[in-house]
Amino acid sequence: MPLPRLQKQNNVITMLAKIFSAAVHGIDALPVTVEALADKGTNFTIVGLPDTAVKESYQRILSAMQQSGLLFPHCRLVINLSPADVKKEGAAFDLPMALGILAANENIDAAAMADYMVTGELSLDGSILPVKGVLPMAIKARELGYRRMIVPEANATEAAVVNNVEIYGMRNLEQTVGFLNGSVQVAPTVVDTREQFRLHAGSFDFDFSEVKGQWAVKRALEVACAGGHNILLVGSPGSGKSMMAKRIPSILPPLSLAEALETTKIHSVAGKLGRGSMLMTSRPFRAPHHTVSPVALVGGGSTPQPGEISLAHNGVLFLDEFPEFPRTVLEVLRQPVEDRVITVSRAKYTVDYPASFMLVASMNPCPCGWYGHPKKPCTCPPGAVAKYMNRISGPLLDRIDLQIEIAPVEFDEMADTMPAESSAAIRARVVEARNVQLERFRDEPTIHCNAQMNSRQIRQYAWPDAEGLSRLKNAMERHSMSARAFDRILKVARTIADLDHSPEVKAAHIAEAIGYRNLDRSSYGQTSSFPFTTPS
């Protein structure tokens, strides 16, 4: 790596120092070299496409040095952030720029910084504040061969998840300078990633043992989780839609170490990790309000950030009150639900965010909420139910594999003191079915569960027997289902067969899968009342 250069011009020593840092682009890090030049003159200049936050770093660096008892050099300072054609955003360059200035002024040994990657925001009192995206920066540091990394103390545990890089968490600028000069001893932060992952995995705040009744709905949720299928819950207020949705992560398969690392990277970039956070050990559960904007849902903005669908990557995206979301917001879901990635394209940048999530939506059956209720009459005027349902477009509804109606729980079931089946028991069956799918798709690197199958794989792995095909034909003709619904039924039937330990998709599996397409009935919303129906 290049060392500082000394030149003497007109009895003035010109000193160039280089400090290595990184910037976040998408969910990955881009290496940035902070070059600090001390020369004859008095002005302070930052070049390399800095944004306003970077330009304002002069006041933070000046005050931090003064409060730390360090001399700010009275000379011309030029700081270049390379590569110069990539915009630099945020305050994470404060610490590397301060160290670059000190190295150019020979307050620290610039040559000793060659093995370090540095990031951190400076407070006016010299404290080092946490920054976003430290985990992808640490991963990039390992890729580029840096042996050590200096980060804010609050981000040290997060960065220490990455092995083969010594992570030093610093409290303030004075401590950092003392450490680099050898006068202060700081031990690297060490995290046993696999042990911590093992200890914290499988801990949930909610459990299905607390849910009374609703056996048919629990079965539908088990099928959805076993195959990674999207599901829509339709029921009157108080029937338990949100309660059961919040318990879905407790029956999903546990995160693998690779999935946990990828998920944590996304939350690190978005600044969603708390102080001292390590790897995320449970699948994310995101539940944005129905007033969310399209940009907040898919990501992007003037400073690109992951949206809710990317924060739900490898987990659950729960949309409560589904029809209340603006039509423009719901329609942006169609492409990521299908492709499991979202590409945000703007005039100045293009970013790819992963978006492999399980969509769980819930809604009332009508505006008043009591359509189809066994005891309360629906007060909506004629046509209101169909109009309410039309807020969700047909193409989006087609992409939801299971559509389930939820009946209210009877008093005897609510008063039952016996605990219901636990999440652990359901999860064991889900994991067993997922293992079957992993073995089935071991030669398909992009396919991990039945919901991700394409048309070729559906015909190879999910084609039913003659009786099942006949039953599917009758249902398709009776309800005028689309070709996409045809594929969805076969995918769900394949998952049901996996739960049943059946290598073949049989008529009973097809029948149950058809029963999970309640909203495809042409009669839905055309009558004033009808009993809730769910497959047994």
Strand partners, 9: 12
Mean pLDDT, all residues of the chain: 86
Does the pLDDT of residue 86 top 60, yes or no? yes
What pLDDT does 499 receive? 95
pLDDT, tens digit (0-9, with 9 covering 90-100), for 508-522: 999 999 989 877 655
CB 169 within 8 A of CB 156: yes
Would you call 297 exposed, middle or buried from its count of C-beta atoms within 10 A (0-12, 13-18, 19+)?
Answer: buried
Of 375-379, 406-410, 441-445, the poorest mean pLDDT is in: 406-410
Confidence of residue 415 (pLDDT cuts 50, 70, 90): low
The pTM for the full model equals 0.85
Write down the residue that tokens 């889900």 correspond to: 430
pLDDT, tens digit (0-9, with 9 covering 90-100), for 232-259: 999 888 888 889 999 999 999 988 888 8
CB under 8 A, 24+ apart: contacts of 417-421: 419/209, 419/210, 420/208, 420/209, 420/210, 420/211, 420/212, 420/213, 421/208, 421/209, 421/218
What pLDDT does 213 receive? 79
41, amino acid identity: G
350-354 and 341-345 as β-strands: parallel, antiparallel, unpaired? antiparallel
Residue 99 φ/ψ, nearest 5 degrees: -70, -35
Strand partners, 169: 151
What pLDDT does 154 receive? 93
290, amino acid identity: H
How many degrees, rounded to 5, is the angle at CA 155 between CA 302 and CA 145? 90
pLDDT, tens digit (0-9, with 9 covering 90-100), for 155-173: 999 999 898 999 999 999 9
Does the pLDDT of residue 7 top 60, yes or no? no
Ramachandran area for residue 90 (φ above 0: left; ψ -120 to 50: alpha; else beta): left
Question: What are the tokens at 172?
Answer: 């303030």
Question: What are the tokens at 289?
Answer: 């309000």
Taking residues 300-306, report their average pLDDT: 81
- For 197, how many CA atoms within 13 A lie in the half-sphere containing its CB? 17
Residue 39 φ/ψ, nearest 5 degrees: -145, 175
Query: What angle in degrees, to the nearest 10, is found between the helix axes of 466-479 and 483-499?
Result: 140
Confidence of residue 14 (pLDDT cuts 50, 70, 90): low
Strand partners, 505: 464
CB 15 within 8 A of CB 104: yes
**Calpha distance 376→363 (Å, rounded):** 17
DSSP collapsed to 3 states, 38-78: EECCCCEEEECCECHHHHCHHHHHHHHHHHCCCCCCCCEEE
**Calpha distance 459→454 (Å, rounded):** 9
Residues 485-514 as b/e (b if ≥16 CB within 10 A, e otherwise) read bbbbbbbbbbbbbbbeeeeebbbbbbbbbb
pLDDT, tens digit (0-9, with 9 covering 90-100), for 488-497: 999 999 999 9
Query: What angle in degrees, to the nearest 10, is found between the helix axes of 257-269 and 193-200?
Result: 90
Taking residues 103-132, report their average pLDDT: 92
